[in-house]
Structure 1
Amino acid sequence: MTSAYLIMDNVSVVRFFILSGLNETNEYRVTLFTFTLLYYCMIFFLNISIIMIVILDENLHEPMYILLCSFCMNGLYGTTGFYPKFLLDLFSSSHQTSYEWCLLQAFVMYSFACCELSILAVMAYDRYLAICRPLHYQSVMTKRKVSLLICFSWFTPFALFSINILLTSRLKLCGVKIDRLFCVNWVIVQLACYKSDTKDITAYFTLIIYFSHGPFIIWSYMHLIRTCVKSKDDRVKFMQTCVPHLISLVMFIVVPLFDFVFMRFGSTDLPQSLQNFISIEFVLIPPVMNPLVYGFKLTKIQNRVLGSSFFAKKYGQ
């Protein structure tokens, strides 16, 4: 096997990493490749469908649907950072990934996750204004305000994790084995020969920013629920627009949060297959469930899908 280290000026420089999480896929990699490819195509089709529906229908150029469009775009971004590389790795006997590609994948996966959480927080704020402050909704959620919120959701993770990855790239590493199906920044940092206080401060600062989204979302829903119990119309609006958001939120947060705790404080007693599932749940279930849930629950999206297919052909609309 080619050495994972390159000796330069008596210093070992890591050339590639080995993803040991793929070791248990050797026996059924053809089957896994087929189903993974089909699944990725389904993710692509569902999310592209929602994006195109929102873009092409001017009646859907409202804050909630624009945020949904951004939500699906982020789903495509995150899954593109995982599935193509995973499909290639299935047929690699060494399960190696280059140092540069590993850092790039770590950046994509982390920025995707944090962008997803930011968009969920903005969507909670949008629902809070629409239901709890309906008279102020139009004046507050202007197109400019929505654009700024979406920019915040996307560019803040990009900026923060550009700094994190840059700091990671400056570390001297004493290991190349990553017990995952994909590259994780925290695991790469754990391979460092020495501890970096600057890197720790940056990482914890990023964690504080994104964990603070949780209390904001909880606060929004406390007000939403308190308002909705008073009115039948508000309860209907809550069921149609807030339930999909809650489903997305729970799916995205619960298992990745467990993985986050396990990655830092857990043991290695769990079977590798279970560790693999937990680590990829956030690119496995939400990217499919989100467009399906919103497509079924949001009346305008549902009517647009039905109107552009069966009913359009039948009635010539």
Structure 2
Amino acid sequence: MYLFLCNLCFNGIIGASAFYPKILHDILFDSHVITYSGCMTQIFFIFLYVHCEFTNLTVMAYDRYVAICKPLHYHSIMTIRKVWRLILLTWFLSWMECIIGCVLLARLPLCGVDIDKLYCSNWAVVKLSCVDTSLNNLYGLILTFLNFSQAIIILISYVNIVKASLRSQAGMRKFMQTCLPHMITLANCSISVFFDSMYAHYGSNNSLLALRNIMAVEFLVLPPLVNPIIYGMNLNQIRKTVKTFFKRRVVALS
């Protein structure tokens, strides 16, 4: 479980690093221009962050399913070797999805230069193309199907987890401690990405612009900040350290 959490946090750093430097540069120098190579680089790493996030959350759902539904067989099923294989598979699939997506994007000639977002995104650049983008649209549908399949795996895992947790109070406590943070992270990422994707494809450029910008950056800003807190507070050592710190502060203020 802890290796998956480290992987999730590391991926959050990648997503934040793809967004923060450029937005800080724009704010400090009042510049809203980016080079084509810089735009493609930002698209690649944000693309990588999103797909790796979903794949890692899917693997974590399977891990929680084994831990709660088959606790006596957990260590025989989720061996260290298998955990590392799942992590490597997560990164391999995410890299392949991003490389293929960026190659399909890079082949398109562009007839415009204005991107109606705070950062470069795949669909925003596709809309600037003046040639047929059917292949890009088909690949987008394939990725949507893959993400939907991952969502089905997560849903099945949690249906079985909830059933197993309701059988005992200890199981419900374990569910609240280990699965609830995962569900919060999953819901936050899924809602933000789904809203941004639907708005990019079907929304108007002038309607709900403020809400669109908030949702567009929310999944890049909040998870890297919130995930370490949500999951870190489940670790006894961290929780005890935080409690001790606040107790000392209360005593000092008294």
Q: What residue number does 2:4 align with?
A: 67
Residue pairs, 1:125-274, within 5 angstroms: 125-274=62-211
Amino acid at match of 2:7: S
Alignment length, in residue pairs? 248
Larger gyration radius, structure 1 or structure 2: 1
How big is the shift at 1:306? Answer: 6.2
Answer whether contact 2:116 2:205 (CA < 8 A) is retained: no
* 1:132–1:244 Cα change, 3 Å: same
Q: What residue number does 1:29 align with?
A: none
The Cα RMSD (Å) is 2.0
Per-residue CA shift, 1:166-213, capped at 9, x if unaligned?
Answer: 121111111110000100011101111111332222222222112211
Q: What residue number does 1:28 align with?
A: none
How big is the shift at 1:69? Answer: 0.7
Structure 2 residue 185 is the aligned partner of structure 1 residue 276: no
Q: Which of 28, 31, 34 is the equivalent residue of 1:97? A: 34
Amino acid at match of 2:11: N
* 1:75–1:216 Cα change, 3 Å: same
Taking only the aligned residue pairs, the percentage that are identical comes to 39
Q: Secondary structure at the match of 2:110?
A: coil
Structure 2 residue 17 is the aligned partner of structure 1 residue 88: no
- Mapped to 2, the partners of 1:284 and 1:151 lie a distance apart of 25
Q: What residue number does 1:42 align with?
A: none
Amino acid at match of 1:289: V
Q: Secondary structure at the match of 2:179?
A: helix
Per-residue CA shift, 1:221-250, capped at 9, x if unaligned?
Answer: 000000111011111111111111111111
Q: Secondary structure at the match of 1:230?
A: coil
- Mapped to 2, the partners of 1:77 and 1:277 lie a distance apart of 20
Which is further off, 79-88 or 288-297?
Answer: 288-297
* 1:97–1:255 Cα change, 3 Å: same
- Mapped to 1, the partners of 2:144 and 2:28 lie a distance apart of 35
How big is the shift at 1:309? Answer: 11
* 1:296–1:234 Cα change, 3 Å: same
Q: Secondary structure at the match of 2:34?
A: strand
Amino acid at match of 1:179: D
Structure 2 residue 210 is the aligned partner of structure 1 residue 285: no
Q: Which of 41, 45, 53 is the equivalent residue of 1:108? A: 45
Which one has the bigger strand percentage? 1
Amino acid at match of 1:260: S
- Mapped to 1, the partners of 2:242 and 2:17 lie a distance apart of 25
Per-residue CA shift, 1:4-43, capped at 9, x if unaligned?
Answer: xxxxxxxxxxxxxxxxxxxxxxxxxxxxxxxxxxxxxxxx
Per-residue CA shift, 1:241-292, capped at 9, x if unaligned?
Answer: 1111111111111122111111111123434332211110101222111111
Q: What residue number does 1:50 align with?
A: none
Q: What residue number does 1:59 align with?
A: none
Answer whether contact 2:15 2:49 (CA < 8 A) is retained: yes
Answer whether contact 2:67 2:74 (CA < 8 A) is retained: yes
Q: What residue number does 1:61 align with?
A: none
Which one has the bigger helix percentage? 2
Which is further off, 89-98 or 184-193?
Answer: 89-98
TM-score by length of 2: 0.91
- Mapped to 2, the partners of 1:291 and 1:89 lie a distance apart of 28
- Mapped to 2, the partners of 1:107 and 1:73 lie a distance apart of 16
Answer whether contact 2:199 2:212 (CA < 8 A) is retained: no
TM-score by length of 1: 0.74
- Mapped to 1, the partners of 2:63 and 2:41 lie a distance apart of 32
- Mapped to 2, the partners of 1:120 and 1:304 lie a distance apart of 27
Answer whether contact 1:241 1:298 (CA < 8 A) is retained: no
- Mapped to 2, the partners of 1:244 and 1:213 lie a distance apart of 18
Runs (5+) with no aligned partner, structure 2: 249-254
